[in-house]
Structure 1
Amino acid sequence: MKKAAAALSVLVALSTLYACGKDSAATLELTAALPEKVPSGTEIRIGDPAIQASLTASGLDKELSDAGVKVAWANISGGPQSIQAFRGDKLDCSSVADIPSLFAAWTGTSTKIVFQSVTVDPLQHPTYELGIAPGVSVTSLADLRGKKIAYSAGQAQGALVLRVLQKAGLKQSDVTLVDLTSNGDSYPTALGSKAVDVAPLGTSVLARYKGKYPGSTSIKTGIRDDASTLYCLTKSVQDAGKAAALKAYVGVRAKALLWQNDHPEEYSKAYLQAVQGLSAADAKAYLAVGGDKGIPATWDNAQARLQATADLLATEQKHDKLDVSKLVDRRFEKVEAAAAGDRVVTGDAA
């Protein structure tokens, strides 16, 4: 009886030791080197529609499958959708601008930025312009005084509005900020119906807006607005298997962005027209003003810009101060730069 009890005790101890060892092997410290090998059966859930289309059109998806990476694609991008999906544990990573990582932190969702890209000539090729409602006269930033401006606090458009006001020397009290999330055609519709006078519009919708509403205009902000990232749940990055898959994904993603630059017509058909629903003419106009995307050799300047934005939002929106270095996983910095090779952007202006 004693022998049986002793044997059972040893078996339980060994089982416990094995389970602990298995768990510790699956958990990756945030300071540890990224694993090279993707374990069999590893799946990463990603909302990255433009890259999804580009990988298929370019054939780069084969590099992922050859590396053993299985991607469960989600039709999700942008801050509100991705943060909601993170909270429900339905998503590992999503493509966004810089603001969602800040709002995730401020609302209790821990994430890490694992990819940064830049526009090669950002001021000549802005992501947004200020759309002006038909019949409203705004020809300079100073003319924003007294205007109704569409504003979404948790999106890149909201931060852009605050930065524009700062550049114009205006306070929030000098304008009327109209809370309105930028989804689909919400901003063009609000402009067209005169619900707002001004709204930041992405270049992909600007041409359609002007075509639909005669008398509508736009002005450029003169502010750098090209932040583009992939951010992930921290617990996903801490999963050793998913971290290995993400390392492979980040490298292939860099190649996909460069492929978009080199193959604008194929990219237009695969994503802008097939997924975004743009006409061939609107897609061509978007590509003409959008500018080439680049892979930065270092994330120093992008991190400095993110810190400046976090400081501005903390002041203007009454949030806690954030140290953004805690939101950026710079282990992936060299991964994407290595994938870009000699095509990295070394002069990323601050």
Structure 2
Amino acid sequence: MGVSPWPGYSSHYVAMAKDLFKPQGLTVKEIYFASQTESDAAFLAGKVDLNWTGLPNAVPQFSRDPGIQVVFQCDYSNGADGILGRGIKTAADIKGRKVARENVLFEELLLRRYLDKMGLKREDVTTIDLSAGDSATAFASGKIDIAVTYEPWMTKAAKEGKGEIVFSSKGTNVIPDGVTARKDFVEKNKEAVVAYFKAIDQAVKLIQTDPAAVAEPIAKGLGLTAAEVPAQMGGVKLYTLQDNKSITFNRSDPMNLFDSLDFASKTAMGIKLIPNAIDINTVMNDGVIKVAS
């Protein structure tokens, strides 16, 4: 299991800490990565079986390996991803500047949304490739004035760097997060995968009903104190198994994942990250959700 720091992955942190997998007859080996890029690379290399990831990131993976599918949406970012700015008020303050960001698709999508809002084009800025954590650190230390990043680093860096969050994912479905797996792995291990998500669903409900009781394991997963957890969790909307059935895999719901990934796919093709658009129908696998819920 590959996982990295992100508030939306809190259900995994809680399930591990509370040993919710044991009643399901599962032993789960977690491999914790410092960044999303490292986790994604390990998944592509076959070093982890399931990967918690920003789902737009999976679009290039779908192109490289048609066997990769989305099996669960854990959350969507509702303000926990954003762009930090210092002295940024107008388009003129941005044009020609350097922007630090991790070279992953979901950060590129967010940056493009912001530039579009400001009436600018992508070529109006240049980017420096740093991990989300390092981008936040560069901003906090004053080395750069614009950075794309996310929690658990964003709010702290804005404060330490005497800047502000000039744009965020709040009120959008640009950045959904979830779990990817290879189709053949799921087919061969469906019972275990179903059991895993049953435990994850229990963890989501614990977080929703008694957040104080699970603040410590979430804090550990994010590298923060328990007191900092509530603010972090306010930036994501966690999904249960039922939410996956009624929203994620339901085309009639305006927040469905099909439309979000289709937008990511078309953007990726437009910037020549992938050669052809992805057929989203082939990468959405609701088989586990149907059985688990």
Structure 1-normalised TM-score? 0.69
Displacement after TM superposition at 1:316 (Å)? 2.2
**Gap change, CA 1:127 and 1:207, over 3 Å in 2:** closer
Structure 2 counterparts to residues 190-209 of structure 1, below 5 A: 190-209=138-157
1:242-299 per-position Cα deviation (integer Å, ceiling 9, x unaligned): 2221122122212222221222222221121x33221233224323x32541332142
1:149-188 paired onto structure 2 within 5 Å: 149-182=99-132, 185-188=133-136
Residue aligned with 2:28, SS: strand
* Aligned pairs (5 A) from 1:1-350: 45-47=1-3, 50-58=10-18, 60-65=20-25, 69-76=26-33, 79-108=36-65, 110-119=67-76, 125-132=78-85, 136-139=86-89, 143-182=93-132, 185-213=133-161, 215-221=162-168, 223-238=172-187, 240=188, 242-272=189-219, 274-287=220-233, 289-295=234-240, 296=243, 297-298=246-247, 299=249, 300=251, 301-320=256-275, 321-335=277-291, 338=293
State the identity as a percent: 18
Q: Which residues of structure 2 form unaligned runs of 5+?
A: none
Q: Which has the larger radius of gyration?
A: 1
Distance (whole Å) between structure 1 residues aligned to residue 227 and residue 89 of structure 2:
27
Alpha-carbon shift at residue 98 of structure 1 (Å): 0.9
Q: Which runs of 5+ in 1 are unaligned?
A: 1-44, 339-350
Q: 1:257 to 1:98 in 2, by over 3 A?
A: same
> In the alignment, is the contact (CA less than 8 A) between 2:174 and 2:260 conserved in 1?
no
TM-score by length of 2: 0.81
Report the AA paired with residue 258 of structure 1.
Answer: K
Letter aligned with residue 208 of structure 2 = N
One-letter amino acid of the counterpart of residue 316, structure 1: I
Tell me if the contact between 2:2 and 2:51 (Cα under 8 Å) persists in the aligned partners: yes
Q: Deviations over 1:91-119 (max 9, x none)?
A: 10011111231121234474111101345
Cα displacement (A) at 1:194: 4.1
What CA deviation, in whole Å up to 9, does each residue of 1:99-143 have, x standing for no partner?
231121234474111101345xx6xx41212112xxx32246785
Secondary structure at the aligned position of 2:224 is classed as coil
Distance 2:236 2:41 in 1: 31
Query: For the Cα contact (< 8 Å) 1:104–1:110, is it kept in 2?
Result: no
Higher relative contact order (CA 8 A, sep 6+): 2
The CA distance in 2 between the partners of 1:142 and 1:266, in whole Å, is 47
Per the TM alignment, residue 46 of structure 1 is displaced from its structure 2 partner at its CA by 4.9
Tell me if the contact between 2:81 and 2:149 (Cα under 8 Å) persists in the aligned partners.
yes
Partner of 1:345: none
